[in-house]
């Protein structure tokens, strides 16, 4: 079964540094998402992406965050200047078509981001 | 937009015990609901989903959930749990067009 893959599995970064988290969505999927899960807390939506632009974003997704689909397969999340509170597990997801209501999202294994 | 809440934070059961994990939703138009499972060190996997129709939804691995509109609930059930069901379980609902609102999750520990 096709999977969403994320790299790296664990990223350790100094506070203030830029970090890029990478995702390869399922190949025929058109919608892409990033979620995060701070340790001990629930999974929170960050952003959705369709047709090379942001479709929706949450309050968490401020100017420090950006997403990009640099080529036909990768989908990246960049945090420009990391803060301690950015430490979390970041999940990428993809779905075939529009609408979280009736199109299941398939999740990657996540990248654990640790900010020192 | 919908939201969900889960009130069981950690449930510990012995193998073969029956399971019921609570999920309550807030009404926001068309009700669509999901249960996801996250096994230790793995990604979120879809267990089952409710869109409309039969309120009793069958999922993978012997799980089922019942949508009870009068109680605003969508509880997850399994008649007999196994050690391999040890995981974190998340109820979710769509909010906005393209994103999921997750509950806080319930950690299930099954003791052999």
Q: β-strands B73-78, B19-21: how paired?
A: antiparallel
Looking from the CA of A89 toward its CB, the CA atoms found within 13 Å total 17
Arch. (CATH architecture) of B3-111: Sandwich (2.60)
φ, ψ dihedrals at B35, nearest 5° = -120, 130
Taking all residues of chain A, what is their mean pLDDT, rounded to a whole number? 91
CB contact (8 A) between residue A41 and residue B104: yes
Which pLDDT tens digit goes with each residue over A1-18? Answer: 678 999 999 999 999 999
Interface of B with A (CB under 8 A): 30, 32, 34, 36, 41-46, 49, 51, 90, 94-105
CB contact (8 A) between residue B30 and residue A101: yes
Can you give the pLDDT of all 116 residues of chain A as single tens digits? 678 999 999 999 999 999 999 999 999 898 999 999 998 888 999 999 998 999 989 999 999 999 999 887 899 999 999 999 999 999 999 988 766 566 788 899 899 999 99
Quickly count: other Cβ atoms within 10 Å of residue A65's Cβ: 18
Looking at residue A101, what is its pLDDT? Answer: 61
**Torsional sign, CA A46, A104, B84, B21:** positive
Looking at residue B31, what is its pLDDT? Answer: 81
Looking from the CA of A109 toward its CB, the CA atoms found within 13 Å total 10
CB contact (8 A) between residue B102 and residue A101: no
Domains and CATH numbers, chain A: 5-97+107-115 (2.60.40.10)
* Cβ(B73)–Cβ(B23) below 8 Å: yes
Place of tokens 């200047």: A81
Residues in A closer than 8 angstroms to B101, CB to CB, are 45
Q: β-strands A10-13, A111-115: how paired?
A: parallel
Q: Is B61 helix (H, G, I), strand (E, B) or coil?
A: helix
């Amino acid at each position: 079964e096709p999977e969403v893959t994320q790299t790296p599995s664990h990223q350790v970064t100094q506070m203030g540094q830029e970090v890029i988290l990478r995702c390869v969505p399922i190949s025929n999927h058109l919608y892409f998402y990033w979620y995060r899960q701070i340790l001990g807390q629930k999974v929170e939506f960050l952003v959705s992406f369709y047709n090379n632009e942001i479709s929706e974003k949450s309050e968490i997704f401020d100017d420090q965050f950006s997403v990009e689909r640099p080529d036909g397969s990768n989908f990246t999340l960049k945090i420009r200047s990391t803060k301690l509170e950015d430490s979390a597990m970041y999940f990428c997801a993809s779905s075939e078509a529009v609408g979280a209501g009736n199109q299941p999202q398939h999740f990657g294994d996540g990248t654990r981001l640790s900010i020192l | 937009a919908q939201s969900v809440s889960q009130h069981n934070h950690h449930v510990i059961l012995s193998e073969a015990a029956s399971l019921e994990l609570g999920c309550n939703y807030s009404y926001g138009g068309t009700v669509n609901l999901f249960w996801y499972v996250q096994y230790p060190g793995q990604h979120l996997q879809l267990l089952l989903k409710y869109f409309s129709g039969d309120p009793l939804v069958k999922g993978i691995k012997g799980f089922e959930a019942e949508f009870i509109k009068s109680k605003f609930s969508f509880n997850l059930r399994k008649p007999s749990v196994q050690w391999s069901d040890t995981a974190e379980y998340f109820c979710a609902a769509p909010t906005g067009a393209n994103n999921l609102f997750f509950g806080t999750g319930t950690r299930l520990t099954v003791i052999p």
